[in-house]
Each structure stands twice: as structure tokens, then as C-alpha cells.
Amino acid sequence: MTNAPTFLPHTTALDEATPLTQSPRTWQGDGWTAQVMKNDDDDGWAVAMTKDGATEPALVGPWTMGRDKKNPKPLDKFAFSALVKTAHEFVRRQEQQQHAALHQSVEVTAKSARFTVNLDIEPDEDNPFATLSAHDALGDEVACIKVPPSFKLNRASAVAWVEAGFERT
């Protein structure tokens, strides 16, 4: 038996005429491809979950040995379904974490009023920037300025900005 296959080329959408692979080491469906491969770090096996259209796996994890304790357990529809669910949840959590890092908000009381101060970071490769904005208790925007993407939003920085009359500090 040969080593595990290299990653399959993925397309943005599988052609309906193209049959999906469903073999003991490669399984496609639901927008994902699972590939079982030799784990280079030890004597075991790993499974890589790659979303259709992606060039790199979204998730790589250990895979179970078969009964012979030498070869991997073959993929089947039940294992693949569980892998798809896990990979989808992993990607969703990553997206939520990235969104939280790029869009921050804090509520403060300053100048005898309540404000919601938002920091929205645009991670552009060539020219990243951030926007700092303040909204009053009714939700109306009262100020908006550009700040460096490294700006640290916290209660103290938000209160200082409001108390400085929404000027750059």
C-alpha cells in the first residue's frame, strides 16, 4: 500500500457531473473533503478536512487505527458526517473570534451621558486602518474618527476620548 495521497485539487463548486470520491481514505460531500494520511509526527494517522475551494485544510486531527493496528480505519458516511460537523463548527468559531477582534465595543458614562464607543478595524493588506465611533443613548452617531489599527479600546481610552470632546488623543 502506498503513502497517503496528496491533497486533492479543489474547485469552488463541484461540477454535478463529477462523481464524488467516497473511498476508505478520501471522502467528499457537503462541501468538504476528508483525507486520511500518514501522520508524519508519529506512527499514527491523521485526517484533514478541507472546504471545497480552499487550498489548505481547515482542520487536521488524529485518525483512528484499524483493527490490524497498522492501517487507518476506513472513512464511512457516519465518520465523515461527524468530521464535517466538527470542521464546520471549528471554522465558525474562528470566524467569530476574528470578528470579535476586528469589531470591539464598550459602553461608558462620561460628560454625564451614556455612550457606546466602537472600534472597527479594516485589516487591509496594503493600508490597514481603524474607525473609532461614539453613539449616544438613542443610538445616534455623535463622533467618528480614523485611528491606527493598533488602537487599544478599553473603558479608560473610551472615557478619555469622550471627555476630550471626541478629539484625537
Boundaries of every domain in the chain: 26-75, 102-163
Judge if pTM exceeds 0.85: no
Q: How far is CA 157 from CA 43, 55, 100, 144, 152, in A?
A: 52, 41, 18, 15, 7
| DSSP secondary structure, 129-145, as one string | EEEEEEE-TTS-EEEEE
> Grid coordinates in use for 18?
463529477
Q: Cα dihedral sign for 20, 21, 22, 28?
A: negative
- pLDDT (tens, 9 = 90+) of the chain, 169 residues, equals 444 444 444 444 444 555 688 889 999 999 999 999 998 777 789 999 999 999 999 999 999 998 888 899 999 999 999 999 999 999 999 999 999 999 999 999 999 999 999 999 998 889 999 999 999 999 999 999 999 999 999 999 999 999 999 987 5
CB 30, CB 71: distance < 8 Å = no
- Give bridge partners of residue 105 from the DSSP assignment: 118
**84: which DSSP letter?**
H
Q: Round to whole Å and give the CA distance between 79 and 33.
A: 12
